Amino acid sequence: MSESINRKPWRRRLLILLEAALFVAIIVSIHAWRTRDLLPADALMPAPAFELRDLDGKMWRLADFGGKPTVVYFFAPWCKVCAASAPQLRWFDDWFGDDVNLVMVGLDYSQVEDLAEYRERHRIQGPVLIGNPVIGSEYRVPGYPSYYVLDAEGRILRRDFGVTTVIGLWWRTRS
């Protein structure tokens, strides 16, 4: 009798461990499926070069952001998830902007004023670049928000799709 009592806690712990492993496997599978169309993150592939104008008329090239890690964040001004992520991006830029570049690229807008209103509404301080379908295609943006983390040489380290947090971005920018 005492032997069967001692086995039950062990079996219960094993069941909890197996359920946790299944949960992690499901989360990893969902993430892999959601990011399957993004460019690969293998640290060998350079991010596609671009030359885009920002909302203030200044021309930016991807090479302008070299020398430190860079987050290239693609958004649409009508996207609710992008709006929910905006404070996190602002805080990330405030806290880690000396160590990491944050460049936002607006896509899927009807007029440039939509991007300017988004920047003002969400108090974005860094550059907001005026994107186009070509850059969206080159970066294989499947939806919004999508973002890539580049190393100091402009190679793709990580990529993701969907909402993010300050801690999530910080973690992804650590090599």
Q: Model-level pTM?
A: 0.81
Same domain flag for 87 and 4: no
Looking at residue 164, which CATH number applies to its domain? Answer: 3.40.30.10
Establish if 68 belongs to a structural domain: yes
Q: Which pLDDT value is given to residue 67?
A: 87
CB atoms within 10 A of CB 85: 24
- Distance (Å, whole) CA 164 – CA 54: 23
Chunked mean pLDDT (size 10), the chain, 175 residues: 61 86 81 75 86 97 91 97 94 93 96 97 94 96 94 91 89 82
Same domain flag for 21 and 69: no
Largest CA distance in the chain: 80
> Domain count of the chain?
2
Establish if 145 belongs to a structural domain: yes
Domain of residue 130, residue span: 51-173
Same domain flag for 28 and 72: no
Same domain flag for 84 and 18: no
